[in-house]
């Protein structure tokens, strides 16, 4: 850059000076020529006016130092000359252009080289009448030739141009050095920035415009470096977090090459960190996992599934990262959870079984005591024992139903009419329906494929709640609808309703919004949990809509997708 700047600047200045020189030489030369032309015309005019046969031509010598006056006869011979020594009098002058021009009545100046004097001469002639004849009065003066003019001007020009060139060279060098030094500092700053290690340094000042730019660059560099630092910190934190979480995580790009893998995932797949940038096939052979990643990469399909690897159970999430080509796979080890859940289920089932037998015995003994009792006071206690054992047996019955549903592997479905089940449920609940003067309606019908007792359990639990948590004189409607896609059963009531916060929890085991009310109505807190288990077993969709104080609507969509 430095060289080029020197070269172009010097070249342009040299061209400028040369053009200026040529133009000045030309203009001065033309001016001189014009002055000489005017002068010679005036001198000739004056001589012509004063000329007559008696004029002493030698007196014209005084007209001007360099001026020469010649009188030429109409035949072309020289009659008189202010410098007689220089001429050949006999030579005919009629063919000279200035004489011909004067003869034709349109006198004009002409210049030509004079062999005798060795210079360019400017000629002008006028035709002057003398008596019956005429003569030509011709004047001539020497003019400097343009080459000579140039030759004379060239040495001072070369001197001046050299002086200018030297001054320009010194000035440009100083200027360019200052700018180059400034850019050098900027370059070093930018290089340090691109190397990731911003090193601020004082930037030398030059011209205000460039100073402004360099200050801007310096400010931007500082901001960029701050952003880099913040990003680097974030990256370090992210790496720390990623490598310290218990979940395995890896990310693949559109070609299924591994972009990132954390420590936990390295352990799960038993690989070393150099697996990064290699293809997914080097990491895992499991078809289920590779297929899920393939579907996510090509079809953007997210999946969640369980996978057993080296004797451990993992919950695998395959997900596309938004606005990128990247697919993320997270493996959460759920082996302990699954084992704990299994243990809980076993305990739940065993405890229910173990409690059922003695409770049934207590119930039997209590009935015997009731039959043989003659004491009126004892009768109250016997009644309490009977009520509480009944409640406990119902609870144990519900607990057993849940554990049975959890352990059901094979289902033997038969066609079941939903309206038949709904009407029979109404009959079962008739006592409480009548007590509360509830209007209970069943509309529509459809047949679903399921084990019969599951459908009874499902409809009974939902409808029982609709009646239990209803007001005196309330309404319950079981609507059964069927279209080409699915069968739908909706149980709606205009009872007490459920608040939005409670709606997500009521499907949990033993969860009751109002425990006293549930107990009073004979609830165990397991009804909706049983409903949820049945739906999960068949893949049916269960949903609930409710408004506090207005009523509840529970819907089961009998389709397995």
Rounded Cα distance between 246 and 411, Å, is 38
Letters for 450-489 (x = contact with ligand ADP by CB under 6 A, - = none) are -----------x---xx--x--------------------
Closest listed residue to residue 500, CA positions, set 555, 433, 545: 545
Rounded Cα distance between 384 and 380, Å, is 6
Rounded Cα distance between 289 and 330, Å, is 11
Binder to ligand ADP among 455, 506, 534, 556 (CB under 6 A)?
506
Binder to ligand ADP among 528, 534, 535, 556 (CB under 6 A)?
528
Using the rule CB under 6 A, is 529 a contact of ligand ADP?
A: yes
Least separation in angstroms between residue 467's CB and ligand ADP is 8
Six token digits for residue 412: 């033997």
CA dist 387 to 56, 206, 381, 393, 533, Å?
Answer: 172, 101, 10, 10, 28
Least separation in angstroms between residue 466's CB and ligand ADP is 5
Least separation in angstroms between residue 298's CB and ligand ADP is 43
Using the rule CB under 6 A, is 495 a contact of ligand ADP?
A: yes
Rounded Cα distance between 474 and 143, Å, is 133
Instruction: Rank residues 116 and 504 by Cβ distance to ligand ADP and give the closer one.
Output: 504
Rounded Cα distance between 103 and 81, Å, is 19
Rounded Cα distance between 107 and 508, Å, is 129
Least separation in angstroms between residue 448's CB and ligand ADP is 21
Rounded Cα distance between 458 and 108, Å, is 132
Using the rule CB under 6 A, is 426 a contact of ligand ADP?
A: no
Piece of 11-19, 113-121, 296-304, 494-502 that binds ligand ADP (CB under 6 A): 494-502
Using the rule CB under 6 A, is 124 a contact of ligand ADP?
A: no
Least separation in angstroms between residue 550's CB and ligand ADP is 10
Binder to ligand ADP among 474, 487, 518, 538 (CB under 6 A)?
518
Instruction: Rank residues 128 and 498 by Cβ distance to ligand ADP and give the closer one.
Output: 498
Query: What region, left, alpha or beta, does residue 88 occupy, with left being phi > 0 and alpha being psi -120 to 50 degrees?
Result: beta
Which parts of 540-559 interact with ligand ADP (CB under 6 A)? 552
Q: Rounded to the nearest 5 degrees, what angle is found at the Cα of 74, between the Cα atoms of 68 and 75?
A: 100
Instruction: Rank residues 52 and 472 by Cβ distance to ligand ADP and give the closer one.
Output: 472
Least separation in angstroms between residue 495's CB and ligand ADP is 5
Using the rule CB under 6 A, is 107 a contact of ligand ADP?
A: no
SS (H, E, C) 170-216: HHHHHHHHHHHHHHHHHHHHHHHHHCCCCCCCCCCCCCHHHHHHHHH
**How many residues lie near ligand ADP (CB under 6 A)?**
23
Which DSSP string do the residues of 151-169 spell out, in sequence order?
Answer: HHHHHHHHHHHHHHHHHHH
Least separation in angstroms between residue 441's CB and ligand ADP is 15
Using the rule CB under 6 A, is 496 a contact of ligand ADP?
A: yes
Least separation in angstroms between residue 551's CB and ligand ADP is 7
Instruction: Rank residues 193 and 496 by Cβ distance to ligand ADP and give the closer one.
Output: 496
Instruction: Rank residues 43 and 466 by Cβ distance to ligand ADP and give the closer one.
Output: 466
Using the rule CB under 6 A, is 440 a contact of ligand ADP?
A: no
Using the rule CB under 6 A, is 514 a contact of ligand ADP?
A: yes
Binder to ligand ADP among 107, 248, 474, 525 (CB under 6 A)?
525
- The residues near 287 (Cβ < 8 Å, ≥ 6 apart) are none
Rounded Cα distance between 71 and 403, Å, is 150
Binder to ligand ADP among 512, 533, 534, 556 (CB under 6 A)?
512
Which DSSP string do the residues of 84-116 spell out, in sequence order?
Answer: GGG--TTS--TTSHHHHHHHTT----EEEEETT
Instruction: Rank residues 36 and 530 by Cβ distance to ligand ADP and give the closer one.
Output: 530
Least separation in angstroms between residue 533's CB and ligand ADP is 11
Using the rule CB under 6 A, is 498 a contact of ligand ADP?
A: yes
Using the rule CB under 6 A, is 352 a contact of ligand ADP?
A: no
CA dist 311 to 82, 248, 262, 287, 336, Å?
Answer: 136, 16, 21, 17, 12
Least separation in angstroms between residue 552's CB and ligand ADP is 4
Closest listed residue to residue 366, CA positions, set 354, 347, 356, 381: 381
CA dist 381 to 155, 341, 355, 363, 374, Å?
Answer: 142, 39, 21, 13, 13
User: Residues in the site for ligand ADP, rule: CB under 6 A?
Assistant: 461, 465-466, 469, 493, 495-498, 506, 511-514, 518, 523-529, 552
């Amino acid at each position: 850059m430095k060289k080029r700047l020197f070269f172009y600047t010097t070249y342009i200045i040299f061209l400028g000076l040369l053009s200026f020189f040529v133009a000045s030489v030309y203009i001065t030369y033309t001016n001189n020529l014009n002055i000489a032309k005017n002068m010679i015309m005036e001198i000739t005019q004056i001589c012509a006016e004063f000329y007559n046969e008696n004029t002493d031509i030698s007196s014209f010598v005084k007209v001007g130092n360099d001026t020469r006056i010649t009188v030429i006869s109409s035949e072309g011979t020289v009659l008189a000359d202010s410098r007689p020594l220089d001429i050949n009098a006999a030579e005919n002058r009629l063919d000279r252009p200035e004489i011909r021009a004067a003869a034709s009545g349109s006198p004009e100046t002409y210049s030509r080289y004079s062999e005798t004097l060795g210079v360019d001469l400017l000629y002008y002639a006028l035709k002057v009448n003398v008596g019956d004849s005429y003569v030509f009065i011709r004047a001539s003066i020497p003019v400097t030739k343009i080459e000579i003019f140039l030759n004379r001007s060239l040495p001072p020009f070369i001197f001046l141009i050299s002086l200018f060139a030297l001054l320009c060279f010194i000035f440009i060098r100083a200027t360019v050095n200052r700018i180059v030094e400034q850019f050098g500092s900027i370059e070093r700053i930018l290089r340090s920035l691109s190397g990731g290690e911003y090193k601020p340094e004082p930037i030398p000042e030059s011209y205000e415009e460039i100073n402004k730019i360099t200050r801007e660059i310096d400010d931007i560099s500082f901001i960029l470096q701050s952003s880099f630092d913040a990003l680097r910190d974030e990256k370090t934190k992210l790496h720390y977090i990623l490598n310290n979480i218990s979940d395995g995580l890896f990310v693949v790009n559109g070609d299924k090459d591994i972009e990132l893998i954390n420590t936990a995932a390295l352990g799960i797949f038993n690989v070393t960190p150099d697996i990064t940038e290699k293809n997914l096939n080097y990491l895992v052979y499991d078809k289920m996992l590779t297929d899920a990643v393939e579907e996510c990469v090509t079809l953007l399909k997210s999946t969640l599934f369980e996978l057993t690897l080296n004797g451990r159970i993992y919950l695998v999430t395959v997900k596309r990262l938004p606005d990128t080509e990247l697919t993320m796979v997270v493996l959460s080890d759920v082996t302990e959870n699954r084992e704990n859940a299994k243990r809980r289920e076993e305990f739940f089932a065993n405890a229910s079984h173990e409690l059922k037998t003695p409770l049934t015995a207590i119930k039997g003994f209590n009935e015997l005591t009731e039959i043989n009792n003659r004491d009126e006071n004892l009768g109250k206690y016997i009644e309490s024992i009977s009520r509480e054992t009944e409640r406990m047996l119902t609870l144990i019955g519900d607990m057993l139903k849940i554990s049975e549903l959890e352990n059901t592997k094979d289902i033997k479905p038969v066609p079941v009419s939903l309206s038949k089940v709904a009407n029979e449920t109404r009959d079962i609940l008739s006592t409480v329906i009548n007590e509360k003067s509830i209007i209970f309606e069943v509309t529509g019908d459809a047949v679903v494929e399921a084990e019969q007792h599951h459908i009874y359990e499902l409809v009974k639990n939902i409808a029982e709640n609709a009646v239990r948590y209803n007001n005196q004189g309330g309404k319950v409607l079981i609507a059964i609808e069927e279209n080409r896609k699915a069968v739908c059963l909706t149980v709606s009531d205009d009872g007490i309703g459920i608040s939005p916060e409670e709606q997500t929890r009521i499907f949990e085991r033993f969860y009751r919004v109002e425990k006293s009310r549930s107990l009073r109505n004979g609830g165990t807190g397991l009804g909706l949990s049983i409903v949820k288990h049945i739906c999960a077993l068949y893949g049916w969709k269960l949903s609930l809509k409710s408004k506090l104080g207005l009523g509840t609507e529970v819907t089961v969509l009998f389709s397995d997708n």
